[in-house]
Amino acid sequence: MKTLLHISDSHFGTERTDVVGALERLAHSHNPSLLIMSGDITQRARKNEFNAAIAFIDRLNVPQKIVIAGNHDIPLFDVFTRAFRPYSRYCRVFGPELEPIYDTADLLVIGVRTTRRYRHIEGEVSSGQIERVTRRLQQAKENQLCVVVTHQPVYVTHQVDEEHLLRGHKQAIRQWAEAGADLILGGHIHRPFTCALHEKIIDLPRRLWAVQAGTAVSSRIRHDSNNSVNLIRYDSSSTTPHAVVERWDYDDTIKEFMLHESIEVKTSAK
C-alpha cells in the first residue's frame, strides 16, 4: 500500500519544537509518497513563518507535496497586502498555483482555495469552483483514489463547530460525491475525525468520507485532542480503491506521535 501524510494547521510561529521533531521522525519512519497540507501553514502569514514552514517541509523529505492556503496564510494586520496581494507571501514559497492538482495512475488529489481576503475566518466555495472540481473528478481513471482538499470543513461532529462549516458545502458534497470523490480532506477546526458522509446525509449517491486533521505542531491545541496528523494508506490494485485512515496523536510523555485509531475507508466503484 502507498502512504499519504495529511497535516493541517501547523501555524508556524506558534510551533512546538518537540512536536516538530516528532513529526519529522514519523514521516521518516513511514516514507509517505505525498504530503498534503490543508492550510493554516503559518500563524500570521509572515515571511519568517513561511520560511520556517518550508524548511520543515524540506526536512520531512517527502518526494511530492500538494499545499493549499488557509485563512491564517493571508496577512491580517498588513491591510494593504491583504487587500491587493493577499497570497503574495504564500506564493513566494509555494508557487502561484492556489488550486493545485496531483494526478498519477492511481491517485487524484484536487486542491480547492476556500479562503477569501474579505473573510477573516470563514471559508467558501463558489459554484464555479464546485463545477471545476466536478469536471475534473469526472475525468478520473477507473482505479484512482479521488481526494478533494479544502481548508474549512465540509462536515462537523460538534454543534460548536457549525459556524466554521465551509459555505457552499452542501452543494459541494453532493456534486463531488456524484462525480466520484472518495475523500474530502480538511482542517481549520483543530478537531481530528473521519466520518462516513454517506451515513449522515440522505440519498448521497455514493460513498464519501470527510477526513479532518488536527493541528499538526502548534501550541494552539483545542478540544479533546493533542497535536494530530493523518496517515492515509491506499491500494488501487483492484477496481475499487481500498484505503485506511490512521490518526496519529502526539504523546507528551514519550514525545512521539502514536497511532490513535485506524479506520477502514470503503469506497464505491467508479
Query: DSSP string spanning 154-184?
Result: S--SSGGGGGGSPBTHHHHHHHHHHHT--EE
At residue 169, the pLDDT reads 97
Q: What is the pLDDT along the chain (270 residues), one digit of tens a residue?
A: 899 999 999 999 999 999 999 999 999 999 999 999 999 999 999 999 999 999 999 999 999 999 999 999 997 766 656 666 789 899 999 999 999 999 999 999 999 999 987 666 789 999 999 999 999 999 999 889 999 999 999 999 999 999 999 999 999 999 999 999 999 999 999 999 999 999 999 999 999 999 999 999 999 998 778 999 999 999 877 667 789 999 999 999 999 999 999 999 988 876
Q: What is the pTM of this model?
A: 0.95
CB 69 within 8 A of CB 93: no
Are the C-beta atoms of residues 15 and 52 closer than 8 Å to each other?
yes
Strands of the sheet with 101-103, listed across from one edge? 101-103, 107-111, 145-149, 183-186, 209-212, 193-196
Q: CA-to-CA distance for 175 and 181, rounded, in angstroms? A: 9
> According to the model, what pLDDT value does residue 1 have?
86
Residue 60 — φ and ψ, nearest 5°?
A: -65, -30
What are the residues facing 85 on neighbouring strands?
A: none
From the options 2.40.50.140, 3.40.50.2000, 3.30.1330.10, 3.60.21.10, give the CATH code of 2-266. 3.60.21.10
Q: What is the pLDDT of residue 79?
A: 65
- Give residue-wise pLDDT tens across range 54-106: 999 999 999 999 999 999 999 776 665 666 678 989 999 999 999 999 999 99
Q: Where are the alpha helices (DSSP H) in 2-78?
A: 17-30, 47-60
For residue 119, count other CB atoms closer than 10 A to its CB.
14
Q: How far apart are CA 110 and CA 247, in angstroms?
A: 21
pLDDT for the residue numbered 211: 98
Residue with cell 494508506: 233
What is the pLDDT at residue 75?
79
Strand partners, 250: 257
The answer to whether 182 touches 147, Cβ cutoff 8 Å, is: yes
Instruction: Calculate the alpha carbon distances from 171 to 81, 109, 128, 202 in Å.
Output: 32, 19, 11, 13
Q: Pairing state of beta strands 256-266 and 242-251?
A: antiparallel
The answer to whether residues 230 and 218 touch, using CB atoms and an 8 Å cutoff, is no
Domain boundaries, the chain: 2-266
